Structures are given as structure tokens and as C-alpha cells.
Amino acid sequence: MNDVPEPAVLRYSAFTTDPAGGNPAGVVLDATGLDDAGMLRIAAAVGYSETAFLFPRAEGREFDVRYFSPLVEVPFCGHATVASAVALDVTGTVRFHTRSGLVEVDAAPGRASLTSVPTSSAPAPAGDVAEALRALRWSAEDLDPRYPAHWAFGGARHLVLAVRTRERLADLDYDFDALAGLLRANDAVTAQLVHQRSEDVFDARDPFPVGGVVEDPATGAAAAAFGGYLRTLGLVGRPRSITIHQGVDLGRPSLLEVAVSPDDPRVTVTGAAVPIPVG
């Protein structure tokens, strides 16, 4: 442990305007002096799916950012990025230098839009899909044939699986260790499980066993990856905006707005964030 004062940890919920909704994130606005062990210890004590640690650069509104779950560091986290930008209480562009690359954030009071690193997506091998289905206790017939299984990247890697019915998505009872093993073996952080509600509206659930978390109520990195996935499938012939509802089945409803363009591999994810009352 470093001999530095314990930093203040702010607590925000992202992709919601209600502290009882969204995905909680810890935010350390100045983590100068903390080492990896210190950040992991703080993230474990906070207990949220991620805590963001900001290291201010000499240039104004420029930060190196690290993201830790209670178990591991992850290369990028969207909900903690939105929470951090709102916690900074600035208006305009903020630049976050993450392990995955530069993420620019357009910040405003109570709201932020992050523009991801370039996204990518590729079909998941049949063996990975079969292993995922076993872990999820689903069958191949549960999957929506319009949306093939992919490994998708939007700052972190995610397994995208789409199901035919909302009922199948709602009934989630998976093998924690088996899914964690598959995700780790593929350098991925969550499974992005989706159902198309209407043309531009999707419901999503994101198991996060790699981080020691059963499920994320909102996953901005997976939303960015999903935007890139749609682009790879040729479903973004013009600038497209989609809405993702997540966290509903956990009682923490979240709203993620995703903007994708056919001529830009980056994806913009927008959402609100609010402080979580302490005590």
C-alpha cells in the first residue's frame, strides 16, 4: 500500500436520473500516488462493478484513467466514464486516455456523451457459441437468427448474443464460473445479451462474472461495442441512433443512447448520471 492519503471516492449512478436506477460507479477524481494494489483495494471496498481512477495531466481537462472492478482491472468502462465526466462538473470536451486509447467526452451538467475508440466485431466461432449457450442454460433455438453471435470490441471485448423473445432475456440464470471462463479465455469482460424491441430499440442484459459481478445494470462499453457490431453487419447504412434499455430486470432501469455512423468506426454513447446519497 502506498504511503499516500486515502483519496475521496465519489459515488454516482450512470445512465439514469434516479440514484436508485442505473449502474453505480465509484469515481476518484485525483488518484495521483495510488498504485495498482491500492486502486484494486479501493474498488473492492467500494463494491461497485467499476471504480474509475483519474490521473490529471498538465494540460487542462486531460486525464489518464484506470478502471477497476472488485476483482480485476478492465481496459475501459463506459458507465464509470459517464459518471466521472459528470462528477468533474464541467461543460465541454474532456479527454480520457484509457488503456484502450483516447476517449473524448462531451460533458454537460448531469449528462455526458463519450466517443469510443474505433470499434470492431467478428463472428464468434461455433465452439464459443455452444459453450456460451451451455453456460447461459439456453438453446440454439433461443437465438435470433437475424443477429449472429459476435465478439465485439468498443474499448473492451464483449460476446454479443441476441435472443428471439423478451421472456428468454428476462429469465437469466447462468453458470457464473463457466461463463467467466469463456469470457476470460477470449479476453472479454461481459456478455452483451440483447433483444430487439422495435427497429431502433433494444433491451440488454450484461453478465459480468469476470469482475466478480453477476450482472451490470448498464454497460456503456458494451453499448459502444454493440453499435460497432451493427455497423459490421451492414445495418448502419446512414447515421443511426438506437436506444438500449438495461437494468430493468434488476430493478435498476437504465437508458443508453447510441449513435453510429457508416463512415466512422467510433461510436457515441450518451447518458445521464446523478450522485448517490451517502448515509
Q: What is the pLDDT of residues 143-201, one digit of tens each?
A: 999 999 999 999 999 999 999 999 999 999 999 999 999 999 999 999 999 999 999 99
> Which pLDDT score is estimated for 60?
86
Q: What pLDDT does 195 receive?
A: 98
For the chain, the structural domain boundaries read 10-115, 120-269
pLDDT tens string 55-87: 999 988 999 999 999 999 999 999 999 999 999
> Are 10-115 and 120-269 equal in CATH topology?
yes
User: What is the rounded CA–CA span in Å between residue 190 and residue 154?
Assistant: 12
Task: Tell me how far CA of residue 208 lies from CA of 57, 123, 124, 180, 264, in angstroms.
Answer: 31, 21, 18, 8, 28
Please give the grid coordinates belonging to residue 274: 446523478
pLDDT for res 1: 44
Given this model, what pLDDT does residue 59 score?
85
Does residue 2 surpass a pLDDT of 60? no
> Mind listing the pLDDT tens digit for each residue in 228-249?
999 999 999 999 999 999 999 9
pTM score of the predicted model: 0.96
**Cell numbers found for residue 55:** 490521473
Give DSSP secondary structure letters for the chain.
--SSPPPP-EEEEES-SSTTSSEEEEEES--TT--HHHHHHHHHHH-SSEEEEEEE-SSTTEEEEEEE-SS-EES--HHHHHHHHHHHT--EEEEEEETTEEEEEEEETTEEEEEPSPPEEEEPPHHHHHHHHHHHT--GGGB-TTS--EEEESSSEEEEEEBS-HHHHH-----HHHHHHHHHHTT--EEEEEEEEETTEEEEEEEEGGGTEEEES--HHHHHHHHHHHHHTT--SS-EEEEEEESGGGT--EEEEEEEETTEEEEEEEEEEEEPP--
pLDDT of residue 5 exceeding 80: no
Percent of the chain with pLDDT over 90: 96
The answer regarding whether domain 120-269 maps to CATH 3.40.50.2300 reads no
pLDDT at 3 over 90: no
Question: Is CATH 3.10.310.10 the classification given to domain 10-115?
Answer: yes
pLDDT band at residue 6, thresholds of 50, 70 and 90?
A: confident
Q: What's the pLDDT score for residue 251?
A: 97
